[in-house]
Amino acid sequence: MDARQEDPRHDGAGAERGRHVLVIGGAGFIGSHYVRELVRDGGPARVTVLDKLTYAGNRANLAPVAGRHTFVQGDICDARLLAEVVPGHDLVVNFAAESHVDRSIADAAPFVRTNVQGVQTLMQVCLEAGTPRIVQVSTDEVYGSIESGSWDEDAPLSPNSPYAASKAGGDLVALSYARTHGLPVSVTRCGNNYGPYQFPEKVVPLFTTRLLDGYGVPLYGDGGNVRDWIHAADHVRGIRLVAERGLPGQIYHIAGTAELTNLELTQHLLHALGAGWDRVERVADRKGHDRRYSLCDARLRALGYAPGVPFEQGLADTVRWYAENRDWWQPLCDRAPAPGTAGAAPVGAARTHD
Ligand code: NAD
């Protein structure tokens, strides 16, 4: 057993050391976390970020590593641009996606374009460039909903939302390139992430920022939907390990550390912000709302993975980060209310979750 196998918290940093890493979608929530960690660790010789800068992409997420990465604004569907950027990189990690379920219910077209066609474009360009290692980042939502127990990587795909269906499509395209062409791509699937720099349409930053502003928060349906929460730092730890040790053509689950109903999550956030249940408004449930997600991550743990952020500490740190970084989120709330919602209006905005 080598030293890396003995370390249960080994994060796979060696995969990037001395290499050129291309991060697609690296200006978003999780992608920027990955970039900040890569640069902080002094791992790769060069980090390039390619990002379209949709409403969810934000150069401010990369401000802590300004001057220490190359930024290219561009679309993952732009084959000509990718053919210029991809060659010369040793590792390509794809975070780029339309990622918000509610937006996919309002308009699925950009989801199919970026999450399916974009992945196919990237895989083809990587094939032609001879890219030695690729990780496609995906989600537990591709499996649909599970009453009890947990999915392993062989579970059938049964996506319910257009977001989940588009991610499943992208995964299948990536895996087909591995099987047909021998492209060295692995797919990771993770549960619900929380942490700093998450766009304030998702439930943790949405509720946190609204409570900080003195507004109410909208809770879907009976609040009984169950999600398995993971800090973005642990998600990134898993991705880095897969980049280093994962097998091409394989899927790896990165499970959460806290399985909670939305009622329980809301209670944690109310408590952290000193607010009561009078600030919660029940709103009509999301269409096709999955009841429960749950992943088994035994395959990743066999590579040496273990999560490092306890939920209560991670959530408290995250709430504190939003309280201390109003300059980051306030302009985002002002500019991007989700489709069919009331933006930053008090109680009733139905833009929540996942
Ligand atoms: P995000 O919405 O915060 O960021 C997505 C990024 O992709 C943005 O920077 C955006 O500008 C960029 N992008 C979108 N379309 C693009 C295009 N056509 N070309 C280039 N760039 C484009 O998303 P996130 O929450 O950071 O999620 C990152 C990845 O992780 C996604 O693939 C998502 O499916 C997956 N994932 C997310 C979660 C979660 O809880 N957030 C959980 C599991 C998996």
CATH at residue 179: 3.40.50.720
Domain count, the chain: 1
If you take atom 29 of ligand 1, which residue's CA is the nearest one?
Answer: 95
3-class state of residue 324 by DSSP: helix
Confidence of residue 285 (pLDDT cuts 50, 70, 90): confident
Residue 139 Cβ < 6 Å to ligand 1? yes
Half-sphere exposure (CA, 13 Å, Cβ side) for 337?
13
Residue 7 maps to a domain = no
Residue 250 maps to a domain = yes
Residue 220 maps to a domain = no
Is 140 tagged catalytic?
yes
DSSP state of 155: S
Is 244 tagged catalytic?
no
Q: Which residue has the higher pLDDT, 145 or 6?
A: 145
What's the mean pLDDT in 242-248?
97
Catalytic residue among 141, 171, 201, 244: 141
Report how far residue 225's alpha carbon sits from residue 223's, in angstroms, rounded to the nearest whole number.
Answer: 6
- Nearest CA to 93 among 197, 37, 21, 183? 21
Residue 186 Cβ < 6 Å to ligand 1? no
Tens digits of residue pLDDT in 3-23: 333 233 334 455 566 689 999
What's the mean pLDDT in 92-98?
98
Q: Which residue has the higher pLDDT, 258 or 344?
A: 258
DSSP state of 20: E
Task: Copy the structure tokens of residue 17.
Answer: 């050391």
Whether residue 170 contacts residue 182, with contact meaning beta carbons closer than 8 Å, is answered with: no
pLDDT for the residue numbered 225 = 95
Task: Give the domain extent around 76.
Answer: 13-193+230-254
Residue 6 maps to a domain = no
pLDDT for the residue numbered 42 = 77
Residue 130 maps to a domain = yes
What's the mean pLDDT in 54-64?
97
Burial category of 147 from C-beta neighbours within 10 Å (exposed 0-12, middle 13-18, buried 19 and up): exposed
Is 312 tagged catalytic?
no
pLDDT for the residue numbered 345 = 40
pLDDT for the residue numbered 346 = 41
Residue 217 maps to a domain = no
CB atoms under 10 Å from CB of 30, counted, come to 23
**Alpha-carbon distances, residue 278 vs 263, 343, 347 (angstroms):** 13, 20, 11
Residue 2 maps to a domain = no
Q: Which of 33, 35, 78, 95 to mutate to test the pocket of ligand 1 (most atoms within 8 A of CB)?
A: 95
Residue 319 maps to a domain = no
